[in-house]
Amino acid sequence: MPLLRSLVCSFLALAGPVAAADRVRVPAEFVHDQVWVTPALGGERLRFFTDTGGGWNAISDSLAQRLALVREKTEDGELVAWPNFDEGAGIPAAPPYFMDGRLAVAPQAQLSGADGFLGGRWFADGVWEFDYPNGRLYRLAGFTADADPPHRAALGFQTNDAGERTMHFPSIEVEVDGELLPMLYDSGATATTTDNSASIFGVAPGTSVGTSFIEHEVFERWTRTHPDWRVIEAADLKGKQERRMIEVPEVTIAGLSVGPVWFSEQPKGAFQSYMARMMDRPTWGALGGSALKYFRVVIDYPGSAAYFQR
């Protein structure tokens, strides 16, 4: 226990002082470097996929029907009120300014078997601790950062003309091979394994795993500069496409180097053009679970910063 207490204290000292009562554990499970929240409703345990780089908050049509949730038809589609989860087994409600804090009703096929989906605008305005090594998620209150904390990474957010954040997609700088690359902080970045890649990740083909993303141009540069870096052909199934993946030996985030980290190849313009419309700047890819798994991270949305600890 003294060692555990020391580790907890050192992390809170790194990220900022938080009273014990202001550090609330959120029911969650970390599976294949992805984060699922697992609230209970009527004694039934549910699984909602979480994604800091995702755009909506949703519940499956089949679950909404089974629970007889009241639906309202709006210009955003059918919406239901935030569920009254079981006492002691709930999750924080969504901020009220996006769909009035409600959930969109989505076809089950769009949720890949999940009961629901919680995106960047669920995390918005909060301070969250992702403890990947121990598989725990916390919501923090009363958080203030130290004056000059080590291993702090600035986060950028797109704002509208009124200075309000739009999609709440955070950008972060990641160093690879001496080059600083702006990326989307994307806890939900996903690869679907194929016959070529499943054994690498120790799963069956067709399994979703946490990964990171990189656009074709940078992927090609890495393969030319480092022919020794492992590349898997047809490794990530996206619809009818099978994309390559590359194993980068080391990446550096907020002064901390970790690796290896898998990146899935993305088409030209996927981030430089398409995602750039929803972010504060063009990025080259996404930092996801294949890199984040090495860390405990506090993401301070109001403070536009993330704090990392090995």
Distance separating alpha carbons of residues 25 and 144, to the nearest angstrom: 19
Which tokens sit at 241? 């496409």
Q: What is the mean pLDDT of residues 178-193?
A: 98
Q: Are 97 and 165 in a shared domain?
A: no
Instruction: Tell me which of 241 and 7 has the higher pLDDT.
Output: 241
Q: Are 157 and 210 in a shared domain?
A: yes
**Residue 7 pLDDT grade (very low, low, confident, very high; cuts 50, 70, 90):** very low
Q: What is the DSSP letter of 95?
A: P
The verdict on residue 173 lying in a domain is yes
Q: Are 196 and 237 in a shared domain?
A: yes
Q: Give the DSSP letter string of 72-92.
A: EEETTEEEEPPP-PPTTS--P
**Residue 17 pLDDT grade (very low, low, confident, very high; cuts 50, 70, 90):** low
What domain count does the chain have? Answer: 2
Q: Which domain holds residue 100?
A: 32-124
Domain boundary among 124, 142, 172: 124
Domain boundary among 88, 104, 124: 124
Q: Are 186 and 274 in a shared domain?
A: yes
Domain boundary among 104, 124, 144: 124
Contact (CB, 8 A) for 72 and 79: yes
**Residue 243 pLDDT grade (very low, low, confident, very high; cuts 50, 70, 90):** very high
Q: What is the mean pLDDT of residues 305-309?
A: 96
The verdict on residue 12 lying in a domain is no
55 has pLDDT over 80: yes
Q: What is the mean pLDDT of residues 88-104?
A: 92
Q: Are 45 and 170 in a shared domain?
A: no
Q: What is the mean pLDDT of residues 63-78?
A: 89
41-45, 59-63, 144-148, 160-164: range with lowest mean pLDDT: 144-148
Burial category of 126 from C-beta neighbours within 10 Å (exposed 0-12, middle 13-18, buried 19 and up): middle
Q: Are 164 and 250 in a shared domain?
A: yes
Q: Give the DSSP letter string of 137-180.
A: EEEE-S----SS-TTEEE-B--B-TTS-BSS---EEEEEETTEE
State how far the alpha carbon of 163 is from the alpha carbons of 95, 159, 166, in Å: 18, 5, 9
Distance separating alpha carbons of residues 310 and 306, to the nearest angstrom: 13
pTM attached to this predicted model:
0.92
**Residue 12 pLDDT grade (very low, low, confident, very high; cuts 50, 70, 90):** low
The verdict on residue 158 lying in a domain is yes
What is the enclosing helix (H) or strand (E) of 183?
strand 179-185
Residue 44 contacts by C-beta under 8 Å, 6 or more apart in sequence? none
Q: What is the mean pLDDT of residues 252-279?
A: 98
- The three state secondary structure string of 17-43 is CCCHHHEEEECEEEECCEEEECCEECC
The verdict on residue 167 lying in a domain is yes
Q: Are 302 and 161 in a shared domain?
A: yes
136-169 pLDDT, tens digit per residue, is 999 999 888 877 788 999 999 999 999 999 999 9
The verdict on residue 168 lying in a domain is yes
The verdict on residue 9 lying in a domain is no
Residues in the chain: 310
Q: Are 158 and 304 in a shared domain?
A: yes
Instruction: Tell me which of 86 and 16 has the higher pLDDT.
Output: 86
Instruction: Give percent of the chain with pLDDT exceeding 70.
Output: 94
The verdict on residue 130 lying in a domain is no
CATH of residue 100: 2.40.70
Q: Are 115 and 164 in a shared domain?
A: no
Q: Are 305 and 156 in a shared domain?
A: yes
The verdict on residue 23 lying in a domain is no
292 has pLDDT over 70: yes
115-134 pLDDT, tens digit per residue, is 999 999 999 999 999 999 99
Cα atoms in the 13 Å half-sphere on the side-chain side of 115: 17
Distance separating alpha carbons of residues 244 and 246, to the nearest angstrom: 7
Which residue, among 116, 49, 39, has the nearest Cα to 80 in the 3D structure? Answer: 116
Q: Are 90 and 162 in a shared domain?
A: no
Q: Are 86 and 182 in a shared domain?
A: no
